[in-house]
Amino acid sequence: MDTLMTTIKPADRELGKTIKLNAIDQIAPRDYVTIYYFFSLPQDVDILAVYRILEQGLLRTSREIPELMSSVCRSRNERDELELCFNHDSAATICLKDYTKPNLRQRWIPGSFKDLEQSHFDLNMLPREHVLAQTEFPDRSWQASLVMQANFIDGGLILTGCLHHTICDGTGTLLFWKTLGRNVSDVTAGLQFVSESSASAQLSNRLAIFNPRPSGTVCDFPGWKLACEGETVSGVSRYDIHQYPSVKFASYFISAANISRLIAMLSTGSAQRPSPTEAICAFIWRNVVKARNINADEFPESRLSIPVNTRTRMQNPLCSPRYWGNLSEPNAVARMPIRLLCGPNPWPIKPASSETESRNDAIASDQSPETSPLLSTIKQIKQAIRSVDNAAVRRLVNLIQHMPQATSLTWDVNRWPGPDMLIVCLHSIGFGPIDFGQVLGVSSAYRCSVGIPKGKPDGRCILMPTRKGLGEGLEVMMQYDTETLQRLAQCGEFNDLFQRLNWARRCHFDTILDQKYNNFRHIPITLCII
């Protein structure tokens, strides 16, 4: 059997129930967070048996987190709110696609698992319609909370999951995958289902975590603005297909040694040593904006947004670190003048045999390190992250509640054609080391995307922990027009620290894609529902 779908529906007693969402859930992007896990498998693996393990693992996970089986629906009010509904159509689904079978093999162009590994698991090589289950249905007034697909290819498995952002943020997504990994591992080991674990997501009344506070005004939130007609929280860029050439996904690697070099140089003359996240975010922000050749007269300022998990910052009442929902708003927003952000760096980052030598090199420069645009940028990032506290979150919630609609506010950012960026720091949470048991084990790599970029420069950069075989460090993912990526490749400051991973094979794959993929794009696939 090359295609199969399993539907996991809520219990009859749940039908008709609704779950009210709070203001933070309402302003989350109304789209899907997609995670890709890549597992190496032996050639003679029993594909159907592996699928059944995943199926049973998802069944157990859905029992622990029933909201996975809900539908995201519009509320029956005039505030443009969403809610979670349990109706007859609600379900979590997982689909099997066996691309090793003759009927589907001809459609699978990217090659074997080893080919993907050699390309550093390049998302350019994975046609979304082949590896992701369908989430958009024009005739539906609702969206599924979770859809998954198990794609079996020669030598491996690509497991994908699309979880609606309205349900939860990145931390909630991690809780889901940890729960799924534990349950898949237990199924593999033949262990009995335990209805609740100390590591499970904590389901609570989403409205109860916020007490009334003074709401303030929009002016108190410089990262937000009143939405104009047609604007949404998700739509932060004004795309024009004629404004840019082809767009590509790019992945980079920075080693632990280069992270230490960067921090050492930035610590010179600074009152406080920057964290790795602060240093890398500042460095990427500066170099990407430079590579985009932004006109400082048209866009005098650039804004960097960084989602901050505020669970541990909430007070009165406190919030569990395992709270299931959205609590990564408002984003920390740092602002820098373009001319300062992209100005000349007074001291180069160059190889040094020790941290002391790095500092001595900086001190010996013609200009003081304090004048470095990177140090100014780090100060802005520190201040922005610090300002996202309990009071800020509660003021934002009350401001949204006093608005005519839940979507009356939108992010005051312009990632395209504007110079603003969003950096998502997934390296600090544990997506990578999740163990899926004796059959699958720990994944060789994972990737993440938000929404359907559709070849558009979304201004989103994702920091991820390094995968197997690369050594200690971080991987960095971004999607921009090819001209920007080419200028970034020619930037000595950037390439002194970062290595482009997926450059070599990309052009070769584009040729294959042009020649073969279009022939199979519209072939229908029949699903067997069980």
Cβ atoms of 20 and 83 closer than 8 Å: yes
Same domain for 144 and 72: yes
Cα torsion for 393, 399, 400, 403, to the nearest 10°?
Answer: 180
Which residues contact residue 165 at a Cβ distance below 8 angstroms, ignoring those fewer than 6 apart? Answer: 28, 29, 30, 31, 32, 33, 326, 450
Cβ atoms of 187 and 370 closer than 8 Å: no
**Amino acid letter at 512?**
I
Q: How far apart are CA 484 and CA 479, in angstroms?
A: 10
Same domain for 407 and 422: no
Give the residues across from 481 on adjacent strands: 247
Same domain for 44 and 190: yes
Written as six digits, the tokens of 466 are 């390094």
Residues making up the chain, counted from first to last: 530
Whether 292 is covered by a domain: the verdict is yes
Same domain for 298 and 232: yes
Same domain for 301 and 181: no
Q: How far apart are CA 513 and CA 507, in angstroms?
A: 10
Written as six digits, the tokens of 427 are 């390296």
Same domain for 430 and 349: no
Domain ends where: 411, 437, 465?
411
Cα torsion for 81, 83, 87, 93, to the nearest 10°?
Answer: 110
Q: How far apart are CA 108 and CA 369, in angstroms?
A: 52
Whether 215 is covered by a domain: the verdict is no
* Sign of the dihedral defined by the CA atoms of residues 390, 395, 397, 398, in that order: positive
Whether 208 is covered by a domain: the verdict is no
Report pTM. 0.89
pLDDT number for residue 349: 60
**How many structural domains are present in the chain?**
2
Same domain for 401 and 422: no
Q: How far apart are CA 256 and CA 245, in angstroms?
A: 34
Whether 252 is covered by a domain: the verdict is no
pLDDT number for residue 121: 94
Alpha carbon separation from 121 to 36, 349, 421, 467, 503 (Å, rounded)? 10, 29, 24, 10, 12
Domain CATH code at residue 67: 3.30.559.10
DSSP 442-485: B-SEEEEEES--TT----EEEEEE--TTS-SEEEEEEEEEHHHH
Whether 201 is covered by a domain: the verdict is no
Whether 216 is covered by a domain: the verdict is no
Cβ atoms of 444 and 468 closer than 8 Å: yes
Whether 398 is covered by a domain: the verdict is yes
Cβ atoms of 510 and 314 closer than 8 Å: no
Classify residue 354 by burial, with Cβ atoms within 10 Å: 0-12, 13-18, 19+: exposed
Same domain for 302 and 282: yes
SS3 labels along 149-168: EEEEECCEEEEEEEEECCCC
Sheet with 71-74, edge to edge strand ranges: 18-20, 82-85, 71-74, 142-144
Domain ends where: 393, 411, 429?
411
Angle, helices 276-291 vs 256-267, to 10°: value is 90
Same domain for 374 and 292: yes
Cβ atoms of 470 and 455 closer than 8 Å: no
Domain ends where: 380, 411, 442?
411
Whether 423 is covered by a domain: the verdict is yes
- DSSP letter at 330? S
Average pLDDT per consecutive 10 residues, the chain (530 residues; last block may be shorter): 94 95 94 96 97 98 97 94 96 98 94 95 90 88 97 98 97 96 97 76 90 77 81 53 72 96 83 90 97 96 96 92 92 95 73 46 43 87 95 91 91 90 91 95 94 76 89 93 93 95 56 41 30
Same domain for 132 and 58: yes
- Domain extent, residue 328, equals 226-239+263-411
Written as six digits, the tokens of 186 are 């237990």
Give the residues across from 326 on adjacent strands: none
Per-residue pLDDT tens over the stretch 316-328:
889 999 999 999 9
Q: How far apart are CA 131 and CA 311, in angstroms?
A: 33
Q: How far apart are CA 291 and CA 342, in angstroms?
A: 9
Cβ atoms of 276 and 453 closer than 8 Å: no
Same domain for 50 and 133: yes
Same domain for 292 and 428: no
Q: How far apart are CA 338 and CA 328, in angstroms?
A: 27
